[in-house]
């Protein structure tokens, strides 16, 4: 029997800024489960995590900002894509904690339309009072971090005390600790609800969410399979980053990792046409999530993750496989992709009934 209340290493020793609403809902997706006709589908609603439209970054920022406050910082600095959920959530957290926010937006997605450049998370960053900087290269993590340090030095010369959340993979992954806690929370909910889960699907970008969740589950004795859906890098590039991430988490918590290489399951079937863009399957999954469960899924992370979930649900239909998806948020980005949705919708909505999973969206599915 799992001890879901067990202490995980020295987790309680880390400073933590309380930003989340606490336990997020675990919901049964009745309509999609009925449509697939096999096992049961569930969603862990981290999009309901309270702070400025929620999302997985709330859990992560509790530990970065906890350290920042402990060090006496008055300004938080980070880099993200133009429609970054991390930047938006960090700006909101800074408002709550009385800190300034300097956000460096990098050109990671080749989109120049006004909706992408000015709406969605971009609009929220301005409403939240973030100071926005630009960086021209979207694939230069070391360069982006260096440029943040240059800006930080200027702030120090003016008497400020900045704290930088770096991008490069060699920094300590404090954000992953938020999902070590989420693993414990999830296991408690599963136990209380009396359900079983065969597989969890979660987006894998920076890897903090995926790595923290899998590390926490294994530390607590759970062998649930966790599949990371690659949303930025292919498996060849992401796999070694994840291997390193588990070692870093173990070092942070001063404990041995129970995650083996065989535990690391990544898929990049949904990555094309690249970060910040969606292929046909991801767009179809976004429409199906909305039609069946009123779930708002963004094209960067959650559309691809829903597509992966549906593939696993359909493949495991005969075995009545139970699959859970972590909804990591990102709904504000929907408003930055209106042009893409309209363009895709013209060709997609007419053939949704022919989607690869055979799910009907022409009319609501009868309950009886």
Catalytic positions:
84
Q: What span, in angstroms and rounded, lies between the C-alpha atoms of 138 and 272?
A: 17
H helices of the chain, in order, are 30-36, 57-70, 85-97, 114-118, 121-127, 141-157, 177-193, 208-219, 235-253, 280-293, 302-315, 338-348
Residues with Cβ within 8 Å of 228's Cβ and at least 6 positions away in sequence, in order, are: 202, 203, 204, 207, 210, 238, 242, 264, 265, 266, 267
Nearest to 186 by CA among 173, 197, 174: 197
Strand 41-45 and strand 26-28: pairing? antiparallel
For the chain, give the longest Cα–Cα distance: 69
Helix (H, G, I), strand (E, B) or coil at 267: strand
Phi (first) and psi of residue 234, to 5 degrees? -75, 175
């Amino acid at each position: 029997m799992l001890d879901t209340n067990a202490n995980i290493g020295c987790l309680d020793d880390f400073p933590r800024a309380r930003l989340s609403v606490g336990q997020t809902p675990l919901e049964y997706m009745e309509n999609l489960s009925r449509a697939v006709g096999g096992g049961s589908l569930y969603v862990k609603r981290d999009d309901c995590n309270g702070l400025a439209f929620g999302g997985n970054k709330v859990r992560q920022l509790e530990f970065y900002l906890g350290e920042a406050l402990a060090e006496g910082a008055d300004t938080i600095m980070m880099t993200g894509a133009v429609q970054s959920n991390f930047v938006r959530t960090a700006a909101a957290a800074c408002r709550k904690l009385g800190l300034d926010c300097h956000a460096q937006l990098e050109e990671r997605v080749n989109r120049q339309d006004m909706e992408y450049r000015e709406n969605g998370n971009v609009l929220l960053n301005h409403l939240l009072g973030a100071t926005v900087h630009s960086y021209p290269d979207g694939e230069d993590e070391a360069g982006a971090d260096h440029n943040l340090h240059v800006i930080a030095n200027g702030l120090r010369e003016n008497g400020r005390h900045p704290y930088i959340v770096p991008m490069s993979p060699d920094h300590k992954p404090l954000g992953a600790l938020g999902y070590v806690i989420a693993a414990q929370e999830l296991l408690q909910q599963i136990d209380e609800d009396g359900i079983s889960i065969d597989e969890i699907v979660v987006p894998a970008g920076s890897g903090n969410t995926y790595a923290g969740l899998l590390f926490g589950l294994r530390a607590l004795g759970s062998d649930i399979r966790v599949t990371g859906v690659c949303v930025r890098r292919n498996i060849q590039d992401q796999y070694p980053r994840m291997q390193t991430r588990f070692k870093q988490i173990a070092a942070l918590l001063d404990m041995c990792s129970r995650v083996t290489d065989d535990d690391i399951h990544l898929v990049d079937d949904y990555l094309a046409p690249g970060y910040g863009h969606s292929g046909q399957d991801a767009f179809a999954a976004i429409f199906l999530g909305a039609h069946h469960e009123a779930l708002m899924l963004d094209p960067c992370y959650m559309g691809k993750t829903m597509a992966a979930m549906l593939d696993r649900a359909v493949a495991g239909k005969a075995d009545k496989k139970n699959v859970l998806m972590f909804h990591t948020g990102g709904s504000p980005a929907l408003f930055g992709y209106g042009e893409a949705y309209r363009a895709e919708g013209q060709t997609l909505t007419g053939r949704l009934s022919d989607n690869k999973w055979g799910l009907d969206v022409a009319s609501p599915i009868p309950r009886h």
